[in-house]
């Protein structure tokens, strides 16, 4: 018997806990569905508003030589006789020449109060679903007494939990990411739907778990990277839509009513572009680390740190693709849309590595029961 | 290469400077040391003087022109991007088409199945993508480009470190972040304060003319250079590893040993530059192999532990030491690593001839066929056997072994559990010529029963003589031809992979350095700040604070806000009602006390 690839590590399975985990995952799906509808309500109510700020900014005569966005609130200082308000000098921000001075959209609710209310409800529901799903993942892990990433079912539930976690963390950090909500819950539902139908594996399935903490480090960072890359990819896609919308307006075209209504409310394309860059750039070192950790683990498990195994190869391809993206951003003529296409290709590589390699290619990394 | 350096450094840098910096002159230049994207004509054309000398001069000019052009192209960001893209594209076929390096068997199958594609793929090197000419060409070009990119950038960066931040551009209000106000403080006072504040915030700052110029975040560039240099280190380490690598397999039965010389390997592969002397001298003996398995539950039969207890010694005659080799815990001797990769059973058998003389007594390793260690192999008695007719012959036994018998009452048997609970050995007996000496390589685990010179022993019914034996039982060969005994002493064997790959330390160092460099390069912002203080037309001092960063910088306005507030504390806004410089700065909430509030900066940090 070859020990290398399929070292099958036994895991005592607690059927009861596994059952609880399944129930929790199904409950999380139900709550995500509610959240999904709440986000839809937010968008629907938001469509009542007629702010049209992008159009206004782009079609108005170019009087705004400087788009003033005041930075920093007034500073309160204590001076001898009591509290005096010392006005801090205002910082005038000029967007880079060549980019449009477009204000960010108000968000899905479009400034509509009821829409905003539904949006808040949606976020609360998302948070609740996140907690339930996380509990489901933990129960699953407890039932098999190992990390919950032994097969693709477990990967999927962990992955969507982490992706929602990233979104909520960004919200908690007061980042302007609320617009992601609808797209996120939609994909999470898709992901979980796939998980419980096609990919479901009873928890007695085995893992090729090797006794190495590098495995845990490697896989957990890989999942986190994937979640963040995913957020970046959604942003990039929306950037592309918003950018062509702005282009159309700027060149005097009239976008369709639906497109206007939706895109109007998103942040400006420049904001989206920056957001995606930051997200992708921030995880790129972590992805690099993930690959290094994988190599260290492979070295101790398989006797070579790099062997062009399909999974390794695709991790490398993904890495080079993201490096391409980062390079494109600092190459004249490749900023903006072209770089965005590269970012999408890079994410497609990540996805292929995640699903495609497991399903179509195989190799040493294949998991029990897919 | 060095020739191109000076002009690259001297040029403005439209590629890296943020858009809008074009009108900033030197102030916006070289905020990064990315190579410039300038078109350089390959041909210098020019006049060709008559005669041979003229022709020579012209040709030389042309050649250097084109070489320069080629070099510029190769080291441009655009081509680096293209090569990176090609690299990832080129890596794809290797993950989809079977590769010789990892699975030669699959390659053969593929060639059998695809009669037209096979040879074509072979020609294109698609069965060994990662060592193919074209893949090597891509990454070698990429790394030449990288070196050609790094060297000038390093010089340029060193120059920037030696120099001072460039002076303020004429129109500060065109910078991405800008603040201004009028104050009663004297211009020199403001500049001094600004210089102090900037230095305290660890900017490199100096006063140039009527403004303070400052810059911070050089670590970004340093990190970026470190990252790219580390890539080269990693590649070189990887290449060395491949060229000098050795990798061999050895199957060892409990009690047997191994010395690290070429002849002892079952199977051996090495890189192109390997020579025999570089094998690390050491030897080891497999004392005991232990495998334990899950006894119950849905995972019954799953391995719990695999451990090989070995005694090893360094060098030709080192002191013996003990070590337990497990999966993930190889034995390491002077850079050679011994991995435990497989295991199986080796039943001990004794073969006697017709006179009862022991002619073969050995533990025979058998190859497992499934997860429950149903195993198969061959027992080959090459010499020492004389048949009852007095003729020298060879004996062969097809062996089938199960550690835990299943299949009672059936024709075939199989194992129910990988542990040694109910071992049974099934044998089929043959005699004649094993064909081992015929020069054709033979699988030691298989009996060539198609060999016409190898005849089966027949039982009473005329069928091939077969028997299932329990430990201790003996099968008699017909006609007093001897016997074979399945001994109670069933051994286990372990398969080891012995790997020597130099350069691993370098690869790891490179990787860690790359990571550190990358973090520096992506998380640190390089930015320039200018604070100008000049008397306005009416004699009142006008302060201007402005900053310039890379286009991605979002923190810049915040930082400019903070800096402006600090400077503002020492040079507060002048309390004049008709001021137009800051007419929108809420004049009614103007502080009544014009006293500086130096503690302010500390509060906000
Ligand atoms: C093995 C191939 C390479 C990889 C994986 C790679 C990767 C990267 C990464 C991840 C960054 C960081 C991006 C950033 O700071 O925004 C970067 C930046 C950079 N790379 Fe590379 N690189 C490679 C080859 C090259 C080559 C051949 C060149 C020269 C032509 C080059 C020039 C640069 C420059 C100038 C920057 C800095 C850009 C800036 O300051 O924005 N790189 N590279």
- Helix ranges (H only) for A200-351 are 213-250, 257-264, 269-302, 310-329, 337-351
Rounded to an integer, the average pLDDT of B456-464 is 86
| Contact (CB<8Å) A300/B81 | no
Beta strands in B501-551 (DSSP E): 527-535, 541-549
The percentage of residues in chain B with a pLDDT greater than 90, rounded to a whole number, is 26
Residue A138: inside a domain, yes or no?
no
Give the integer Cα–Cα distance in Å for B199 and B191: 12
pLDDT at B551: 60
* Nearest-angstrom CA–CA distance, A246 and A53: 11
- Residue-wise pLDDT for B261-282, tens only, equals 888 888 888 877 777 778 888 9
Both tokens of residue B82?
């293209």
| B358, β-bridge pairs | B352
CA distance A247 to A263: 12
Query: For residue A105, what is the DSSP state?
Result: P
* A337-351 vs A213-250: helix crossing angle, rounded to 10: 150
Of residues B109, B42, B102, the one with CA closest to residue B70 = B42
Q: How many of the other CB atoms lie within 10 Å of CB of B1?
A: 10
Q: Return the number of other C-beta atoms located less than 10 Å from residue A362's C-beta.
A: 12
Distance between CA atoms of residues B295 and A340, nearest Å: 54
Cα B18 to Cα A63, A308, B14, B23, B545: the distances in Å are 23, 39, 8, 11, 18
* Distant-in-sequence, close-in-space partners of B488: CB < 8 Å, separation ≥ 6: B471, B472
pLDDT tens-digit series, residues B470-524: 999 999 998 888 999 999 999 999 999 898 888 888 999 999 999 999 999 988 8
Residue A328: count of CB within 10 angstroms of its CB: 23
- B304, B343, B507 member nearest A1 (Cβ): B343
Say if A286 is an interface residue toward chain B (CB within 8 Å).
no
Above 80 in pLDDT, residue B244? Answer: yes
- Find the A330 Cα to ligand 1 centroid distance in Å: 9
Is A301 within the bounds of a domain? yes
Percent of chain B with pLDDT over 70: 85
Residue B579 binned pLDDT confidence (cut-offs 50, 70, 90):
very low
Condensed to tens digits (0 to 9), the pLDDT of residues B65-106 reads: 888 888 888 878 888 888 988 998 998 888 888 887 777 778
Residue B501 alpha carbon to ligand 1 centre in Å: 29
Is there a domain that residue A234 lies in?
A: yes
Q: Inform me whether the pLDDT recorded for B9 exceeds 70.
A: no
- Give the integer Cα–Cα distance in Å for A253 and A266: 19
Looking at residue A59, its pLDDT comes to: 63
Relative to the CA of B32, which ligand 1 atom is closest? 40
Residue A144 placed within a domain = no
Distance B228 CA to ligand 1 centre (A): 7
CA Rg value for chain B: 40
Q: How confident is the model at residue B36 (pLDDT cuts 50, 70, 90)?
A: low
Confidence at B17, pLDDT banded by 50, 70, 90: very low
**Residue A303 touches partner B, C-beta closer than 8 Å:** yes
Residues 6+ apart with CB under 8 A from B316: B281
Nearest Cβ partner for B95 among A282, A288, A361: A361
Element housing B248 (H / E): strand B246-253
CA distance A129 to chain B (A): 32
A304 touches B at CB < 8 Å: yes
Residue carrying the six token digits 């899905």: A108
Contacts of B604 in chain A (CB under 8 A): 75
Whether the pLDDT of residue B584 is over 80: the answer is no
Query: Alpha-carbon torsion A222, A226, A228, A233, what sign?
Result: positive
CA distance B330 to chain A (A): 7
Give the C-alpha separation, B117 to B121, whole Å: 6
Find tokens 């159009």 and name the residue.
Answer: A55
Query: Which residues does chain A have with pLDDT short of 50?
Result: 1-12, 61-85, 204-209, 366-370
Pocket probe for ligand 1: among B30, B31, B80, B83, the residue whose CB has the most ligand atoms within 8 Å is B80
pLDDT in the model for residue A62 = 45
Distance of alpha carbon A56 from alpha carbon A39, whole angstroms: 26
Among A276, A277, A303, which would you mutate to test the B interface (most chain B Cβ atoms within 10 Å of its Cβ)? A303
Q: What is the pLDDT of residues B405-445, one digit of tens each?
A: 887 777 778 888 888 889 999 999 999 888 776 655 567 78
CA A264, distance to chain mean position in Å, is: 22
Give the whole-angstrom CA distance, residue A99 versus residue B5.
33
Q: What is the mean pLDDT of residues B435-463?
A: 78
Question: For A308, which of B130, B514, B551 is closest by C-beta distance?
Answer: B130
Shortest-distance atom of ligand 1 to CA B221: 40
Domain assignment of residue A230, yes or no: yes
- Rounded to the nearest angstrom, the distance between the alpha carbon of A315 and the centre of ligand 1 is 18
pLDDT of B99-144, one tens digit each? 877 777 788 888 888 888 888 888 888 888 888 889 889 989 998 9
Is B272 at the interface with chain A, CB within 8 A? no
Number of neighbouring beta carbons within 10 Å of residue B47: 8
The total number of structural domains in chain A stands at 1
- Could you tell me if B348 and B327 are in contact, meaning their C-beta atoms sit under 8 angstroms apart? no
In the predicted model, what is the mean pLDDT of chain B? 81
Question: In degrees rounded to 5, what are phi and psi of residue A348?
Answer: -60, -40
Quick check: B7 pLDDT over 60?
no
Chain A residue numbers touching B507 (CB-CB < 8 A): 305
Can you tell me which residue has the tokens 């295991």?
B343
Residue A54 has a pLDDT of: 65
Flag whether A2 is in a domain: no
Q: Specify if A33 maps to a domain.
A: no
The residue among B576, B572, B564 whose CA lies nearest residue B532 is B564
Ligand 1: residues with CB < 6 A are A 323, 326-327, 330; B 16, 32, 34-35, 75, 77, 80, 84, 142, 145-146, 149, 224, 228, 231, 518, 521-522
To the nearest whole Å, the CA of A84 is away from the closest chain B CA by 6
The helix (H) or strand (E) run that includes residue B288 is strand B282-293
Query: What's the maximum distance between 2 C-alpha atoms anywhere in chain A?
Result: 85
Buried b (16+ CB within 10 A) or exposed e, B101-114: beeeeebeebbeee
For B350-406, how does the pLDDT look when each residue is reduced to its tens digit (9 = 90+)?
A: 999 888 899 999 999 999 888 888 899 999 998 888 888 888 889 999 999 999 988
Domain that holds residue A102: 49-61+95-108+150-191+205-360
> Phi/psi class of residue A12: alpha, beta or left (left: φ > 0; alpha: ψ in -120 to 50)?
beta
Interface test with B, best of A15, A87, A275 (most B CBs within 10 A): A87
Total count of residues recorded for chain A: 370
Is A88 among the domain residues?
Answer: no
pLDDT at B5: 35
């Amino acid at each position: 018997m070859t020990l290398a690839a399929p070292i099958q590590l036994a895991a005592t399975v607690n059927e009861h806990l596994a059952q609880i985990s399944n129930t929790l995952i199904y409950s999380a799906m139900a709550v995500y569905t509610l959240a999904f509808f709440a986000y839809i309500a937010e968008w629907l109510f938001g469509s009542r508003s007629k702010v049209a700020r992008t159009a206004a900014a782009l079609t108005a005569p170019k009087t705004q030589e400087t788009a003033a966005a005041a930075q920093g609130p007034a500073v309160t200082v204590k001076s001898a006789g009591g509290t005096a308000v010392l006005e801090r000098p205002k910082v005038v921000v000029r967007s880079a020449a060549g980019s449009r001075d477009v204000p960010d959209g108000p968000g899905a609710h479009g400034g509509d109060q009821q829409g905003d209310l539904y949006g808040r409800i949606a976020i609360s529901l998302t948070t609740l679903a996140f907690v339930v799903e996380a509990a489901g993942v933990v129960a699953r892990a407890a039932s098999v007494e190992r990390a919950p990433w032994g097969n693709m079912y477990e990967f999927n539930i962990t992955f969507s939990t982490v992706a929602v976690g990233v979104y909520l963390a960004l919200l908690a950090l007061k980042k302007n990411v609320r617009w992601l909500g609808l797209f996120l819950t939609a994909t999470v539902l898709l992901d979980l739907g796939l998980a419980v139908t096609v990919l479901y594996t009873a928890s007695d399935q085995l893992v090729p778990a090797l006794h190495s903490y590098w495995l845990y480090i490697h896989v957990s960072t890989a999942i986190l990277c994937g979640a963040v890359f995913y957020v970046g990819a959604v942003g990039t896609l929306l950037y592309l839509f918003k950018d062509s919308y702005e282009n159309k307006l700027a060149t005097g075209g009239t976008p369709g009513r639906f497109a206007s209504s939706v895109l109007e409310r998103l942040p400006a394309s420049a904001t989206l572009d920056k957001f995606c860059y930051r997200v992708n750039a921030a995880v790129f070192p972590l992805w690099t680390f993930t690959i290094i950790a994988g190599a260290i683990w492979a070295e101790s498990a398989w006797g070579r740190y790099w062997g062009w195994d399909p999974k390794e190869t695709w991790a490398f391809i993904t890495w080079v693709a993201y490096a391409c993206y980062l390079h494109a951003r600092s190459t004249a003529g490749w900023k903006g849309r072209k770089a965005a296409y590269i970012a999408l290709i890079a994410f497609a590589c990540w996805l292929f590595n995640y699903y495609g390699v497991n399903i179509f290619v195989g190799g040493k990394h294949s998991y029990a029961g897919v | 290469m060095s020739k191109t350096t000076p002009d690259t450094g001297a040029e403005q840098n439209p590629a890296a400077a943020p858009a809008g910096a074009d009108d900033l002159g030197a102030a916006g230049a070289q905020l990064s040391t990315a190579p410039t994207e300038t078109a350089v004509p390959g041909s210098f054309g020019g006049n060709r003087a008559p005669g041979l000398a003229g022709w020579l001069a012209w040709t030389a000019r042309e050649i250097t022109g084109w070489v320069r052009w080629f070099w510029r192209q190769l080291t441009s960001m655009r081509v680096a991007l293209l090569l990176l893209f090609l690299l990832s594209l080129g890596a794809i076929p290797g993950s989809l088409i079977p590769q010789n390096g990892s699975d030669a068997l699959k390659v053969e199958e593929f060639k059998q199945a695809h009669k037209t594609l096979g040879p074509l793929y072979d020609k294109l090197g698609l069965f060994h993508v990662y060592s193919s000419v074209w893949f090597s060409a891509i990454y070698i070009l990429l790394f030449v480009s990288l070196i050609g990119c790094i060297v000038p950038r390093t010089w340029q960066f060193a120059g920037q470190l030696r120099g001072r931040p460039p002076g303020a551009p004429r129109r500060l209000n065109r910078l991405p972040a800008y603040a201004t106000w009028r104050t009663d403080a004297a211009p020199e006072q403001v500049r001094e304060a600004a210089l102090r504040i900037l230095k305290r915030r660890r900017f490199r700052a100096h006063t140039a003319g009527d403004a303070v110029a400052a810059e911070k975040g050089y670590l970004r560039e340093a990190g970026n250079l470190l990252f790219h240099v580390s890539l080269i280190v990693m590649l070189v380490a990887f290449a060395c590893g491949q060229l000098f690598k050795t990798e061999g397999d050895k199957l060892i039965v409990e009690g047997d040993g191994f010395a690290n010389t070429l002849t002892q390997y079952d199977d051996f592969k090495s890189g192109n530059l390997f020579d025999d002397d570089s094998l690390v001298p050491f030897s080891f003996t497999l004392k005991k192999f232990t495998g334990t398995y899950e006894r119950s539950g849905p995972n019954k039969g799953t391995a719990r532990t695999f451990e090989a207890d070995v005694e090893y010694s360094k060098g030709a005659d080192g002191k013996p030491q003990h070590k337990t080799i497990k999966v993930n815990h190889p034995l390491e001797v002077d850079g050679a690593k011994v991995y435990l990769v497989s295991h199986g059973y080796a039943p001990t058998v004794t073969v006697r001839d017709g006179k009862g003389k022991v002619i073969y007594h050995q533990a025979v390793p058998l190859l497992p066929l499934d997860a429950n260690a149903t195993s198969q192999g061959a027992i080959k008695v090459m010499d020492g056997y004389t048949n009852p007719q007095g003729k020298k012959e060879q004996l062969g036994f097809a062996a089938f072994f199960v550690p835990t018998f299943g299949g009672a009452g059936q024709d075939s048997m199989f194992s129910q559990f990988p542990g040694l609970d109910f071992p049974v050995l099934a044998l089929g007996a043959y005699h004649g010529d094993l064909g081992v000496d015929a020069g054709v390589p033979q699988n030691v685990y298989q009996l060539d029963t198609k060999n016409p010179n190898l005849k089966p022993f027949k039982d009473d019914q005329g069928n091939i003589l077969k028997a299932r034996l329990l430990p201790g039982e003996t099968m008699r060969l017909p006609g007093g031809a001897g016997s074979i005994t399945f001994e109670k002493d069933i051994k286990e064997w372990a398969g080891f992979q012995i790997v020597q790959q130099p350069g691993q330390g370098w690869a790891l160092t490179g990787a860690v350095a790359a990571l550190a460099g990358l973090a520096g390069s992506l998380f640190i912002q390089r930015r320039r700040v200018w604070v100008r203080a000049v008397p306005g037309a009416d004699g009142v001092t006008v302060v201007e604070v402005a900053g310039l960063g890379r286009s991605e910088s979002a923190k810049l306005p915040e930082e400019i806000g903070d800096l402006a507030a600090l400077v503002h504390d020492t040079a507060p806004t002048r309390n004049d009602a008709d001021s137009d410089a800051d007419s929108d700065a809420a004049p009614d909430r103007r502080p009544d006390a014009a006293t500086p509030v130096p503690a302010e900066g500390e509060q906000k940090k």
